[in-house]
Amino acid sequence: MKSRLTLIAVAAALCAAAGVAYSVDSLTPPGQQGGNAAGVKAPATAAAPAAERGRYVAIAGDCAACHTDPHGGQPFAGGYALQTPFGKLLASNITMDKATGIGEWTEAQFTRAVREGKGRHGENLYPAMPYNAYVKVSDQDMHDLWAYMQTVAPVRHKVVSNQLPFPFNIRLMMFGWNLMFFDNRPFTPLAGASAEANRGAYLVQGLGHCASCHTAKNFLGGDSSAYLEGGELDGWHAPNITADSYQGIGGWSTEQLVRYLKTGSNHVAVASGPMAEAVTNSTQHMTEADLRAIAAYLQTLPGNPAAKPAPLPASDPRMQQGANVYSANCAACHNSDGKGINELASSLAGNPGIQAHNPQSLVTTVLEGGRGAVTLANPTSGAMPSFAWKLSDGQIAAALTYARNSWGNAAPAVSAEQVAEARKARQLPAQLSEDGSQR
């Protein structure tokens, strides 16, 4: 489960917030770095400014998230299993090893793979590698990324990437998918938008590949028209990140958006699941100017605002049961008023993620627990224990229904069947009985 960033292309951008002017064709100005990120080490020599800029491109694109196995793998050596609705794919080795990596590749072959989804010999790649977003990466940034990749130490690690079942293992099928869903146009600046918002558009649409998670997919895995209005990812719901004030981030200021991307938390939310990985590996290392640009662009997206429903009444039996479960198990961290603990336990009151139409992430988090993003600004972060062993499906459903309809929130009730389905899919244990056995 990885969340990826994809953004970049043509057009000049002025990051006025930082007082630095530079071209969108170069993701970071010479000499300005994004800090250390997992698997993205500084070039071995300082002789190549292009490689240093390319390191920042790799950070913004979150390349290490897929191409570095978190279970003891070497940087960019591949082997991380990507779970897709169609089966398992293993991320490839992209170190400079000549036998098992890309050491024999040319820059043109590398660029074609990243932006067009074509392997070294012209074979079709699968869009788990988000070339449908990276197509917007500019020539300059691709050149710099290639310069950086040449500094990555070669690792001999053979990876058989395609482990999909028949017929999805037939790469030729991707020809039809590309015809239907791959828009191979480069980045197009937004008419009438500020230079800062255009910079953000370039980042969000390209390297950030935010739509990979935050845009719903059709049954063939292509993007729907509901751009950045929320999507599902392996047991998680990536929330609406448009300016919709009900289920989106319309109530967040620029500073709150920047803080979330930089530290993993703000006045309302704490990044968890795949988004925590994206913050830890990528966005926390991006420049302040780029984070402000991303915020400026997201704030231009109206989304498709939905009417806020009336909350369930407190007299509803589900709300009464949920209030009891919440008081006994949740209030210690999230407080009786639902406002949480700043930068530690997320606020539930007025949180658009809590009111999302799809409660999948909430169910997953309560069942299996989780850890917030670990960042330089917040190295301890917060953690939530698993409640799968302690609470029944009905109790979890009631507690979430209560949280989704209290403190000004309003959202559909969560059912015990939804919790049971998630528990089974995540292979989590049943609630323990008083004698310690599973029910």
pLDDT digits (tens, 9 = 90+) for 348-390: 998 999 999 999 999 999 999 988 888 988 888 788 999 999 9
Q: What residue ranges in 70-179 does DSSP mark as E strands?
A: 81-84, 87-90, 162-163
End-to-end CA gap in the chain: 29
What pLDDT shows up at residue 24?
A: 36
Q: What residue ranges in 29-133 does DSSP mark as E strands?
A: 81-84, 87-90
What pLDDT shows up at residue 394?
A: 97
Radius of gyration of the chain (CA): 22
What pLDDT shows up at residue 372?
A: 87
Question: All domains of the chain, ordered by start, with CATH?
Answer: 12-298 (no CATH), 317-425 (1.10.760.10)
Tell which residue, 427, 431, 342, has the closest CA to residue 390: 431
Q: What are the per-10-residue average pLDDT scores of the chain (439 residues)?
A: 33 27 35 48 66 95 90 87 80 94 96 95 89 96 96 91 80 86 93 96 96 92 92 87 91 95 91 90 96 97 87 97 97 94 88 92 94 87 91 97 97 97 93 65
Which residue, chain included where needed, has tokens 């790469």?
171
Mind listing the pLDDT tens digit for each residue in 217-276? 998 889 999 999 999 887 789 999 999 988 899 999 999 999 999 999 988 888 988 899
Q: What type of residue sits at position 260?
A: Y
What pLDDT shows up at residue 380?
A: 80
Taking the C-alpha atoms of residue 125 and residue 164, their distance in angstroms, rounded to an integer, is: 13
What pLDDT shows up at residue 436?
A: 55
Taking the C-alpha atoms of residue 55 and residue 290, their distance in angstroms, rounded to an integer, is: 15
pTM of the model: 0.84
What pLDDT shows up at residue 41?
A: 67
Taking the C-alpha atoms of residue 168 and residue 221, their distance in angstroms, rounded to an integer, is: 12
- In Å, how far from its chain's centre is CA 346? 18
* Contact between residue 91 and residue 66 where contact means Cβ atoms under 8 Å apart: yes
